[in-house]
Structure formats: C-alpha cells, structure tokens
Amino acid sequence: MFKKKLQMPLFLIAALLFGAKTYIVYRFVFNISLENNMQEFILLINPFVTALFFFSLSLFFNERRQLKFIKYGILIGSLILYFNIVFYRNFSDFITIPVLFQGSNVADLGSSVLDLIKFWDITLFADVIIIWFIAKKYGDQLAVSFSKRYRGLVITISIACLVGNYVLAEIERPQLLQRTFDREYLVKNIGVFNYHIYDAVLHSKSKAQRVFADGNELNDIADYIKEEATIPGSEEMHGIAEGKNVIFISLESLQTFVINNTVNGEEVTPFLNDLIDDSYYFENFYHQTEQGKTSDSEFIVENSLYPSPRGAVYFTHGQNDYHALPEILNNQDYYTSVFHSNNKSFWNRDVMYDNIGYDHFYDENAFEVTEENSIGWGLKDKDFFKQSIKYLEQIDQPFYAKFITLTNHYPFDLDEEDATIDQYDSNSNTLNKYFQTARYMDEAVEEFFTYLKESGVYDDSIIILMGDHYGISDFHKRAMLQYLDEEEYTDYLHVQLQRVPFYVHIPGQEGGVVSKVAGQIDVKPTILNLIGLDAEEDLSFGTDLFSDERKDFIAFRDGSFITDDYVYTKSQCFNRETGELIEPTPEDELADPEDPQTGCEPMIEKVEQELNYSDEIIFGDLFRFYDFKDEQAQKEEK
C-alpha cells in the first residue's frame, strides 16, 4: 500500500524536506531581519530553489549512485547548515572560507563550543534520518531514470528558479553582490549555500589580488587618506607622554553598558567606574571588529586599518607588509612586548607579532599555569597580572606593553570562590554569568594598578584601557532587554551596544569624560600624538581622539556607521540621540530636488569607499610598494 502511494522521486522529497528545514532555520534560528513582504518571499523560496537545483544533479547518475548522492548530499548540507548555526550562536554571523582556515583555533575553544551545542539540535537532522531510511527501504521505487531530454528539462527549470531568485533579490537589493561586507543581506537574498559559493569566489579573488597588484592602486588611496583622514593631532596633548612607557590593557569582551551600572544592586565595575574621575574616558567609543574578534581589535589598533570582511587578517594576511605601531615605536627606541597567557599560535599571533615588530611575546610558556589558577580559556586575570609584573620591571624603558586579559571570555565561567557578586537572573545563562566575570576582571585591573605603583613603573607610564569587542551578542536580546529595561531590541539599540570602554589614564592629570564619537581605528594616531610623533606621513584611516577636528564618521565592517547626528545600519537611518527612525524625505519636500541626499545618505558612499580602500591595501599587500619615512628622519628633516 505504501509503495503504491509513493509517486514522488527521492530527489524531490529530499529537496522539499531540506528546503523546509533550511527555511525554518533562516526564520527562527538565524536572527535575520525582514523589512517587507518581498524579503519574506525571497527568504522563503531561496532554500527550496537551491535544494531543487542541487538534488536534481543526482539525475545524471545511475540509480545506485543517485541514491548515494542524495543521501550524502543531504548529510553534508545539514552539517554545513549546523556549523553555521553553532557559529551564529556565538558571533551572530556566518562562516567564511578564511574562518575555516583558522581551524587550529578550534582545539583551544574547549567548553566554548560545547556551550553552543543544544540537546534539541538533533532534530535538525530529522530530514537526514528520513531520507536515509526511505532510500534504504524504498530506494528502488524512488530512484528515477529520466531520458536525456527530461533530465535537461529538470535542470533547466531548477536553473531558471535560481535565476528568478537572484533577479528578485537584485530588484529588492540593487548591486547585492557588490555589498560583500554585509553577509546577512547575502544570506537573506541568495541563501547560505549560494553565499558560501560566492564567498569561495571572493576568497580566490582576494588571493589573486596580491599577485596582480603593482602599487599604482595606492595613489588614489593615499590621496583619499591625505584629504579625508589626515587631520593634525591635538596640540595640547602632543608629546604629553613623550619618553613615558605606554601600557595598553585589552579588556576582554567588556561592553560599555556595564560601566557605572549595577546588577542585583551592586556595581559591576567599581574600580573602572572610579577610574573615570582621573582619566580621559570616551563614553561613545565603539569597537569595529568583525570575525577576527580580539585579533581584529589588535589589528585595528596597531594599523588603523579596517579588519577583513571575512576571516581574520592575522590569519589570512599575517605576512603582509604593514606600518604598524610596534614597528614605529621600535624606531623611537621603545621596547615592545605583548603579555597574553594563551597558546602563541592562537590567531596566528606568533607570526603576526614578529611581522609587525614586537620585540617579545610573553605567551603561556612565560607563566605558571595550574588547574587552581586557570579557568575557561586559561590563566585567571588576577594571576596573569601578578605574574606579569616581574617581567615588566625587568624590560628596558621606555616600553610599549600590551596586556590581553582572558577571564571575561565566553562562556564566562568562574570558580565559585572567585565570584564576589551574584549572577543575574534571566533566561540567558550567558548574560547571567557575564556580570561575575566582568567584576572579576575589574578587580584584577585594580590589583594591577597597585602592582604598577609598588614597582615604581606607574609614575613613568600612561595606561590605556580598551574593551576589545562585544561579549553579549544579539542572540541574547530577550535577556538584554530585561536588564536594560527596554521594550524592543531595535537595530539602533544593537549598534549602541557595540560601545566599549576606552580610557587614557595619565598619572597626575585629571582627565574628563569625552562624548565625541570615536572608534578603535583612532587609537594608533592618538598614541603617536601623545608620545610626540606626527602621523601625517602614515597611511591610516583614524584621527587623533583628542583633536578638535574629526573625520565625519565611525564605520563598521558591515557598512553601518555613526556620525555626530545619525546612526546608519541595515539600510535604516536613526537619530543618534533619540534612536528615532528617520524616514527618507519625499521628493516634493526636498529643499534641493537635484540633490536628494538627506540624513545618512551623504555618508553611505564615502563609508563604502573607505572600507574598500582598506581592503585593497590588505588584499593587495600594497604597503610593500610604499616607502614610509622613519619618524626620526622626519624630525631631522624638519
């Protein structure tokens, strides 16, 4: 009876099952925003047309191999989809080809990956189980043997559906494939599998870009930087730290929303709150990282270039020529070092650090790491700082020393005896634990300041503290709304949550709160100006944070940006102060109909241009063609 009712060939059953599952994942697992009915329709059809095309390829095989193609095809497709789900749960992003080459990092992830796997995930493979069962029991009846003419017809129909999908996507989002920095738009319009194919093409293109680059591309880029980004640093702050040590502390996953805030009635970061009173504190400072997270943060600070839209520059272009901060400081007789109690090859740091001029990397081998003093990703922050101070006292001065903390890292585990505040109470275990590890890091930084004062290093140093990237992704939006006492998690709110703390602490100076919009791209020229160097001969996209003149915007890797007045993200323009959505001005109300650009529109093209210029520098390794003058030579010339 069952055999008589089964009329549909197996490739169609597989296409329907896999397409339905993929749509459910798009709609209810990935946090894909839908702005209109057309986007909803495109999101609905693209998993089915992609599945139809893929499984119809099985018709070119004989019946036995046809069954094998369908069985293993749906298994591999499900695994690719599932890997994206796990990745998305932590990063709110999709896997790229360069990320796959960072597989050496996976061995160090440990409990982080396990925390992202849910028990109900097994249901995501239900279609695989069904197809394998049907193929084994009824494969002979469901395998089809079409003539060449009918095979061609099926393939033609499936290709026509793919083309139709793309045409609709292009109508909805013109120049879709040129907006490669926005992966959500690509997945929303062409599907995750077509996106992966396109990503592979882009990866091959970026590799070829270096081979064919000849340096002429730098002329337009250099002109743009000189005109748009090269702004003189603050005269008042110029050289204020000349000859002093520079201590840079990277605060793992720390976001601004915890600063001057409480949980269960207690301050989350009491020391960092007090530090505002005698530091320059930038309250509207944004991280600009992408898939490389902490390594992206390091790359931006060291080079004042944007991170790669795919993968981590530390991995994909770690051997390029750069004009990095450590190299510049070396030329000024600074001893440069990094302290980070992790595997030296994680994020390819051992290669990148050597390439950009660091004198020494104090990795996990420089520390005594035991079960008692480590948790999660490694050595606890308090022990990390305590064990670091002996090295800091020994190195030559002046020095530039970067410290990268670990304890406030996902999944935010902390031993019970180290927790000094209670967990938060929400539906997100991640957010609940986050406040405890943030407090622990705050206490560790306070202890480090004490060590610096006792060692005599403090008075001859400036100390810069910066949150490296977000800790709580929008996967935990419900819990965040509860904590922030907000009613709706808007795209505007998401951008505002990308603010991270940034302090410049100069012993003996009071400082003050600075409200100007700023980002990690601005850190390098700021440090150079503080120690008395001019950044005018550099090629970078940042400007001195203390300068009264500023570039017009702070850009994110996905094309979002922030100006003094506006926040632009996901094709929406918001008032920066109120968060109110600004609708496009009707043509008949324009002051100048010939120039319809209002609100965010004047900046969109400029932001895309700047991001593309940064990519050209990195992908083409263009700095190998540029002769950067030694800063000492600059002074002698003047």
Taking the C-alpha atoms of residue 124 and residue 81, their distance in angstroms, rounded to an integer, is 9
Taking the C-alpha atoms of residue 599 and residue 578, their distance in angstroms, rounded to an integer, is 14
Taking the C-alpha atoms of residue 416 and residue 109, their distance in angstroms, rounded to an integer, is 22
Inter-residue contact 603 to 553 (CB < 8 Å): yes
**Amino acid in the structure at residue 317:** H
- Give the DSSP H/E element, type plus range, for residue 250: strand 245-251
Taking the C-alpha atoms of residue 565 and residue 48, their distance in angstroms, rounded to an integer, is 42
Return the closest-CA partner of residue 70 out of 2, 148, 5, 8. 8
Inter-residue contact 520 to 301 (CB < 8 Å): yes
Taking the C-alpha atoms of residue 108 and residue 127, their distance in angstroms, rounded to an integer, is 32
Separate counts of helices (H) and strands (E) for the chain: 23, 18
Backbone CA torsion sign across 410, 411, 412, 415? negative
Look-up: residue for tokens 């602490």? Answer: 505
Taking the C-alpha atoms of residue 285 and residue 292, their distance in angstroms, rounded to an integer, is 19
**Amino acid in the structure at residue 173:** R
Taking the C-alpha atoms of residue 180 and residue 196, their distance in angstroms, rounded to an integer, is 12
Tell me the CA distances in angstroms from 562 to 189, 313, 624, one per residue in order.
26, 24, 32
Active-site residue identified among 180, 289, 294, 526: 294
- Provide the greatest CA pair distance for the chain: 94
User: Which letter does DSSP use for residue 319 in this model?
Assistant: T
Enter the tokens of residue 201: 């093409």
If DSSP codes are grouped into helix, strand and coil, which group holds residue 228? helix
Inter-residue contact 277 to 310 (CB < 8 Å): no
**Amino acid in the structure at residue 195:** Y
294 as an active site residue: the answer is yes
Return the closest-CA partner of residue 535 out of 237, 216, 128, 264. 237
3-class secondary structure per residue, 42-69: HHHHHHHHHHHHHHHHHHHCCHHHHHHH
If DSSP codes are grouped into helix, strand and coil, which group holds residue 463? strand
Q: How many CB atoms lie within 10 A of CB 289?
A: 25
State the distance between the two ends of the chain, measured CA to CA, in whole angstroms.
94
Inter-residue contact 444 to 385 (CB < 8 Å): yes
Inter-residue contact 411 to 475 (CB < 8 Å): no
- Give the DSSP H/E element, type plus range, for residue 573: strand 572-575
Dihedral, 347, 351, 355, 359 alpha carbons, nearest 10:
100
Q: How many CB atoms lie within 10 A of CB 591?
A: 8
Active site residues: 294
